[in-house]
Amino acid sequence: MASSSPTSPPLAVGALDELDELDDDATANPRRWAILAVLCTSLLLVMLGNTALNLALPNIAADLGLSSSAQQWVVDAYSLVFAGLLFTTSSLGDRFGRKGVMQAGLVVFTLATAFAGFVTTSGTGLIAARAVMGLAGAMIMPSTLSILTNVFPANERARAIAIWTAVSGGGAAIGMMISGYLLEHWSWHSVFLLNLPVAAVALIAGMVLIPTSRDPQKPKLDILGAALSTAGVAAVVYGLIEAPTHGWSSAGTLGFLLGGLALVGGFVAWELRTSSPMLDIRLFRQATFGISSLALTLVFFTLMGVFFSISQLFQLVMGYGTFESALRLAPVFLAMIIVAPRAPGLVQRFGARATVAGGLTLVAVGIGILALLPGHPGYMQVAIGLAITAGGMALAMSPTTELLMASVPRTSAGMGAAMNDTTRELGGALGVAVLGSVLASQYSSRISAATHALPATAAGTAKASLAGALHVATGLPGSEGGQLAGAARSAWMHGLSTSMLVGAGIIVVAAAIARLGLPGMRTADATIADAEPGEPADTVDDDDAALVPALV
């Protein structure tokens, strides 16, 4: 078995550990599908807790009297803590037990959610609750994938990961739909209180069903690595979040981005030296790990960037209410649920390379359809674009998650899970920042001509956002308000088109990289972790896939 010491070959090139060598139906956990249901319920809880706030924030701000800065921190507190602690919590799971870390996360999440659900006066209390929810999410989400990897045998793991992927991708749409309904009928507190029964079910079922698993080598805790990864990832995410507001060239944005990247560089240097790394950096030498990580990052770049824009399109341009807007995201959820479980079969038939590249190509096509929306868009074109985009995401996410997890021995599953979840968080933050900035800059330049006759304050508000322009328009007399609103919507649609074209171009590049760099194996067993010692798995191509069972 390969060691993770600095002088040993990469984990991904080493022989599979004994558990994986004996991994077949005879050793499978008989309750594995029930366990998967518990893991997906726990994962859905995290997705609900993160996306519910997007729709509820305007109501929260009005009720608690939150400033713009406080509103920003209500959102950012979760993301910063969640992203920063993923590697640390995953390492703790590998060392002390993944079930224990996940169950503790569910308890913490329940308590923090309950506290947030009963906040009535304090924005500070809500921000603190959101930060604690981020900690709990970092304990839960990677643990679900680590446990899944250890519960399912290799011949069923791709299917299980596909279901997990459908929940992780479609969960955002589910969260917005449920939240929209609750906000139409009850106060914003309901979007937090909804999580309580879900958390109780997941916690009790997990206690009964989920087995305990950990790395039998009991690696030492990487304290310095934990500190560097937490600070570095959190700083990068915060810089990306702040960039659209303060500008990419502002001192604050550059300071956080450059400082975060420096800390991440220090983390990489330390992980190459330590004998018990939280993340074996040598894994990035392998296409299955490095390119899979890149593909996942760009998939979530698209997902969060599109969600950021489409939610505004529905409400501010097309005039739908909160629940109506959320309900119209159903094509995303349906496409994820339908397509993701079928991805393993396509990998078996066409190979991972073709499936992932094809999925990313579909994403680019779907975004291209959204880029061609007219000034007065109809829902059908939007729905078709969303469905194609989400279907392509599902095709790309499932195989890349399987490849990434298969690159890491099951005993160190937390390492792969942390990398998987970090790519998603960074990709989402980057998507909102980049596509949001492109949209905002195009909108601002286009709307300028329609605001030159307005007072300076009103003009500034109108240029800042479409919502601001529509607010200013309501206070203008006669046809002036209608003209400003029309000009603002037209400018915003132009910005949306440009941002979607940028996103489509980035995804086309990602598809080309996947087509050129990923291995073309057709089976889940033909992955990097199953290669013979000294043989990189990306040499196992379509014609060699049938030989893999004989090799192992």
Going from N- to C-terminal start, the domains of the chain cover 30-219, 222-275, 281-451+497-552
Q: In whole angstroms, give the CA distance from residue 429 to residue 242.
A: 10
Cβ neighbours of residue 485 closer than 8 Å, sequence gap 6 or more: 469, 470, 473
For 150-170, write each residue's pLDDT tens digit: 888 888 888 888 888 888 777
Q: Domain 281-451+497-552: give its CATH code.
A: 1.20.1250.20
- Tell me, what's the pLDDT at 24? 43
Task: Give the range with max mean pLDDT: 33-37, 124-128, 182-186, 213-217.
Answer: 33-37
Please give the model's pTM, rounded to 2 decimal places.
Answer: 0.77
DSSP annotation string for 525-539: TSSGGGSPTT--GGG
Domains 30-219 and 281-451+497-552 fall in the same CATH topology: yes
Structure tokens at 56: 């509820």
- What is 30-219's CATH number? 1.20.1250.20
pLDDT tens across 287-320, in order?
A: 778 888 888 888 888 777 887 788 788 888 888 8
* Phi and psi angles of residue 21, each rounded to the nearest 5 degrees, phi first: -65, -30
Question: Does the pLDDT at position 7 exceed 60?
Answer: no
Question: What's the pLDDT score for residue 367?
Answer: 92
d(CA 216, CA 400): 27
Which residues have a Cβ under 8 Å from the Cβ of 254 and sit 6 or more positions away?
A: 239, 248
State the pLDDT confidence band at 69, using cuts at 50, 70 and 90: low
Range list of β-strands (E), 382-513: none
Percentage of residues of the chain with pLDDT beyond 70: 87
64-72 CB contacts, 8 Å cutoff, 24+ apart: 64/119, 64/121, 64/122, 64/123, 64/126, 65/123, 66/123, 70/123, 70/127, 72/241, 72/245
Q: Look up residue 426 and give its two tokens.
A: 């960074």
pLDDT tens sequence across 72-91 = 778 778 888 888 888 888 88
